[in-house]
Structure 1
Amino acid sequence: MTTVAPDDPAAARGIGRRVQSDIYRAGISGARPAVPVHPDALERAARRALSAEAFVYIQGGAGTGRTMDANRAAFARRQVWPRPLRDVSSRDLSTTFLGRTRPTPLLLAPLGVMELAHAQADLAVARAAASLGIPYVLSNQASFPMEQVAHEAPAGPRLFQLYWSSSDELNASLLRRAEASGCEAIVVTLDTHLLGWRTQDLDLAYLPFTRGLGIAQYTSDPVFQQLVRERARASADQPAARVRMTAKTVAAGVSMARKTRGITGAGVRDGLRSPLPRVAVETFLDVFSTPALTWDDLPKARAWTSLPILLKGIVHPDDAVRAMDAGLDGVWVSNHGGRQIDDAVPTLDVLEKIVARVDGRAPVVFDSGVRGGADAFIALAMGATAVAIGRPYAYGLAVAGEDGVREVMRNILAELDITLGLSGHTAIAEVTRDAIRDVP
């Protein structure tokens, strides 16, 4: 299995040919890749591997899905413009990001509730990312506490994504923990201060958080635990809301009891008798985000951590300028993969304007609509410093666990390397707007 050392800038050189060779040589004895290589086949395989609720939650978007379609259509409006007869026998995928030379320009975007895809969830993702030297942006909605992820993959570079809670004490605690557990930077996600209108989830009446899934960063946090205890005391004399008992009600109760053991200190049987699991979920739903968040709140984060801070969810050039003027350390161009607003601006269409306004003062990360290495090449040619991958690695996790994540990301790197060479370039640093053209 091809791997990449995180601190060796040359480690990814030639990865395209190595991966192809690995696959074809294994094929002589009848072995096939652990996950489908074609993005559409990968998604179909994930659909088969997942429950209907899990697949819809991971794959779905807001409204009718027009933003997801627009993200992909934006890539279809650009084409790689090859220049042959250049010596591309040695190729370099390395880039500089947050002051360090990285072997590749890829990141793993923060994806929450990965236990929907695999029991090992973030632990498997972290191990796979570390083996390829790719920074992993650990989600605020992870299925395992950040400290456990750090223990599982101590050499892997990590960032932490913060959903700005309505409790500043909780925000401060999460950032202190991120810094203490070895994260290199904080990514503040700005576009989820309200939950998007996700029609497929609504049709299934399914939100994983209501089952206690994806809230491990909270249930392991001392500030959140105190909020739960205070809420429990305040509601102790109030009659519990009546709930219609069905098989699904019981299953949800068991799930909540399992996922809140860090607060209850009890097993599932005792947890089912305790009000704390329900109170913990209710507390999370109350504090998860705040629609009152403004630019004036962001300086607080500087008091909570000494780590660099990037803003994720920037889609307007004026907001990128404001982030730079406020002294933030980077911008992340994203529309949340089309999950928040239906018919929103596709990120690729605004990337160049944002890059121009940032004007080299800070890194520009890009996501939304990226399905393979050629897509990453196009985003890099349009000025992105780094490109974040989302749904594809979740599909790999669903199909083949840690190996699936590793293979998906390895395949994207291999295609990026081959696209780099076939386009006539030898280094990511050489790739400019001249490497692509707009479709007439």
Structure 2
Amino acid sequence: MLTSTQQQPFFNLEDVEQLAKAILPQMAYEYFAAGAETEQTVGDNRSAFRQYRILPRILVDVSQVSTRCCMFGYNMAMPLLVAPMAMHGLAHPVKELGTARAAAAMNIPMCVSTMANMSLQEVAAEAQHPCMLFQLYVIRDRQVVEGWVRQAEAAGYKALVITVDAPRLGRREADERNRFRLPDHLHMANLQVLAEKRAARQPGSAQLLDARDSSNNSGLFELFAKEVDDRLTWDVIPWLRTITTLPIYIKGVLSPADALLALEHGVDGIVVSNHGGRQLDYSPAALDMLPGVVAAVDGRIPVLMDGGIRRGTDVLKALALGASAVLLGRPVIYGLAVNGQQGVQQVLQTIQREFELALALAGCKSVPDIGPHMLLRCSADGLLPVASKAS
């Protein structure tokens, strides 16, 4: 087995997954890689990108190409964020800190998960990243949720990203098969408050609520069943407005009807996402639903997307279909496993380099040049233009 301390070269994001698979214990790799049930949606997220072709324009001066954009008041290296992912410590001892420092070095925003191995304050204080977002699971105990939100504000997070597609945990058979449990040296720091409150109610019970479980099932199932609020409705948005002035994004939107409801309830942005195929199997690919959501929103708020991004051309396709930016998940974790902070940085450098080259070869000087006129969609009748006419 390879070790993450060895310098492992990789040339694309598919390479880094194979290296991570060779390094990580099976339980850890499959926790990150696997999806729900048959994993149809995991595959669909990737195959959706293969339905599009890029129509280049020629004789354009591309001697100076810029991938930069601005979101959250931050000048980003490219329209890409590090997606929220649980338990980076399963991949590497530097945990979320290594990921955050790499993202900061690359001028890429990072979204920190509620289920991180480090507390949201630790990541902010030690990484000194100027643009971090906090991904929030709204649990039944609203006092705890309010505490997390206050901590995020105090630590300088730029926005809240509310996960809305996980009222219950999707059935991930790989976790069940592997009897997933968090190693004894790791815990989910933001959830310590839940353990403390439980211990106060039940003296002598100081066990951390950290996904450890000795039964046949992953402790994650028990965690979500007990703590995540499956009664959550749109009323959560006005409630959050009473406790924070941070921008509120919701992550997990697929239906254009829900996008319209999000507008009605005053959210500041949407992430089109199916949770990386880890929740409802056979839900549609995020890219397939992106155009409908973009049309419903009609430019009133930013629309981001995640799911299946592996190449710079994937970023270009998502932006051409109307995304303001994309989020990159699993490849970041794989880079962390392969070479810690440096591995994450190399992943981000790789996709930025690919994106810059794709822009140049497509005849784009900058991100605002990207549009639906660049895309053709594969169909039984051949390649059909996405836009009604090219510019």
Q: Any idea what SS the aligned residue of 1:295 has?
A: coil
* Equivalent runs, 1:219-368 vs 2, <5 Å: 219=192, 221=193, 224=194, 226-233=196-203, 236=204, 275-277=205-207, 287-368=226-307
Aligned to 1:217: 190
One of 86, 95, 103 as aligned partner of 1:112: 86
Displacement of 1:297 after TM fit? 2.5
2:144 paired with 1:170:
yes
Larger radius of gyration: 1
Structure 1 vs Structure 2 CA RMSD: 2.0
Percent identity, aligned pairs only, is: 36
The separation in 1 between residues aligned to 2:128 and 2:302, in whole angstroms, is 25
Q: Which moved more, 1:304-313 or 1:80-89?
A: 80-89
| Aligned-partner Cα distance in 1 for 2:238–2:34 | 34
The 2-side partners of 1:317 and 1:53 are apart by 36
Distance 2:333 2:242 in 1: 34
Hey, what's the Cα distance between the residues in 1 that align with 2:132 and 2:236?
25
Alignment of 1:369-384 (within 5 A): 369-384=308-323
Residue matched to 1:191: 165
CA contact (8 A) 1:231 1:279 kept: no
Moved over 6 A (4+): 279-283
Deviations 1:194-229 (A, max 9, x none): 111111111112143x9684511121x4xx354133
Distance (Å, rounded) in 2 between the aligned partners of 1:214 and 1:162: 17
- The whole-number CA distance in structure 2 between the counterparts of 1:433 and 1:278 is 49
- Distance change (3 Å), C-alpha of 1:166 and 1:207: farther
Secondary structure of the residue that 1:410 maps to in structure 2?
helix
C-alpha distance in structure 1 between counterparts of 2:273 and 2:41, whole Å: 11
Question: Against the structure 1 CA distance between its residues 197 and 84, is the aligned structure 2 distance closer, same or farther, given a 3 Å change threshold?
Answer: same
Structure 2 unmatched ranges of 5 or more: 1-5, 212-218, 383-391
Distance in 2 separating the partners of 1:316 and 1:53 = 33
The 8 Å contact of residues 8 and 19 in structure 2, kept in 1 or not, is answered as no
Structure 2 counterpart of 1:203: 177
Q: Does 1:93 align with 2:23?
A: no
Residue 205 to residue 360, structure 1, CA distance change in 2 (3 Å)? same
Q: How far 1:102 moved relative to its partner?
A: 2.8
Task: Indicate the SS of the match to 2:158.
Answer: coil
2:321/2:372 contact within 8 Å kept? yes
Task: Find the aligned partners of 2:343 and 2:37 in 1 and give their Cα distance.
Answer: 30
Q: Distance in 2 between matches of 1:155 and 1:190?
A: 26
- Tell me how far apart the structure 1 counterparts of residues 334 and 252 of structure 2 sit (CA, whole Å): 23
From 35, 54, 59, give the equivalent of 1:61.
Answer: 35
Against the structure 1 CA distance between its residues 127 and 367, is the aligned structure 2 distance closer, same or farther, given a 3 Å change threshold? same
Query: What is the match of residue 124 of structure 2?
Result: 150
Q: Deviations over 1:221-279 (max 9, x none)?
A: 4xx3541332322xx5xxxxxxxxxxxxxxxxxxxxxxxxxxxxxxxxxxxxxx41257
How far is 1:39 from its partner?
2.6
SS at match of 2:299: coil
Partners of 1:33 and 1:93 lie apart in 2 by 28
Query: SS of the residue aligned with 1:388?
Result: strand
**Structure 2 length-normalised TM:** 0.89
Q: Deviations over 1:396-428 (max 9, x none)?
A: 000100000000011000100000000000010
Q: Distance in 2 between matches of 1:292 and 1:132?
A: 39
2:25 is matched with 51
- How far did 1:35 drift? 3.9
| Alignment CA distance shift 1:433-1:335 (3 Å) | same
Alignment of 1:113-128 (within 5 A): 113-128=87-102
Does the C-alpha gap of structure 1 residues 404 and 100 become closer, same or farther in structure 2, counting only changes over 3 Å?
closer
Q: Does 1:70 align with 2:44?
A: yes
How many positions carry a matched residue from both structures?
A: 365
**What is the distance in 2 between the residues matched to 1:95 and 1:193?**
33
**TM-score, normalised with respect to structure 1:** 0.79
Cα distance in 1 for residues equivalent to 2:184 and 2:7: 34
Whether the 8 Å contact between 1:380 and 1:431 is mirrored in structure 2 is yes
Which amino acid in structure 2 is aligned with residue 135 of structure 1? Answer: P
Q: Deviations over 1:295-324 (max 9, x none)?
A: 123211112211000000000001011101
CA deviations on 1:363-383 (whole Å, 9 max, x unpaired) are: 111100111211111001110
TM-aligned CA distance change 1:361 to 1:102, over 3 Å: same
Q: Indicate conservation of the 8 Å contact 1:142/1:215, yes or no.
A: yes
Normalized per residue, the structure richer in helix is 1
* Contact 1:143–1:216 (8 Å) recurs in 2: yes
Counterparts of 1:9-48 in structure 2, within 5 Å, are 34-48=8-22
Aligned to 2:214: none
Q: Does 1:159 align with 2:133?
A: yes
Structure 1 residue ranges without an equivalent (≥5): 1-31, 237-274
